[in-house]
Amino acid sequence: MGIKPSIPQSISARSRRNLMTAMKDEAFTYVKLKLFAKAARRHGHTELAELFDRTADHEYLEHFAKVASLAGLTGTDEQNLSHAIQEESFEIDQLYMVFAREALEDGDLEVAGQFSQIRHDEAVHRLAFEEALAYLQTHDLIMGRA
Positions touching Fe ion (CB under 5 A) are 26, 59, 63, 122, 125
Closer by beta carbon to Fe ion, 45 or else 125:
125
Closer by beta carbon to Fe ion, 57 or else 140:
57
Smallest gap from residue 66 Cβ to Fe ion (A): 10
Smallest gap from residue 27 Cβ to Fe ion (A): 10
Closer by beta carbon to Fe ion, 19 or else 59:
59
* Contacts (Cβ under 8 Å, ≥6 apart) of 66: none
Smallest gap from residue 126 Cβ to Fe ion (A): 7
* Contacts (Cβ under 8 Å, ≥6 apart) of 137: 78, 146
HEC assignment per residue over the chain? CCCCCCCCCCCCHHHHHHHHHHHHHHHHHHHHHHHHHHHHHHCCCHHHHHHHHHHHHHHHHHHHHHHHHHCCCCCCHHHHHHHHHHHHHHHHHHHHHHHHHHHHHCCCHHHHHHHHHHHHHHHHHHHHHHHHHHHHHHHHHHCCCC
Smallest gap from residue 104 Cβ to Fe ion (A): 21
Smallest gap from residue 92 Cβ to Fe ion (A): 9
Closer by beta carbon to Fe ion, 69 or else 138:
69
Closer by beta carbon to Fe ion, 27 or else 111:
27
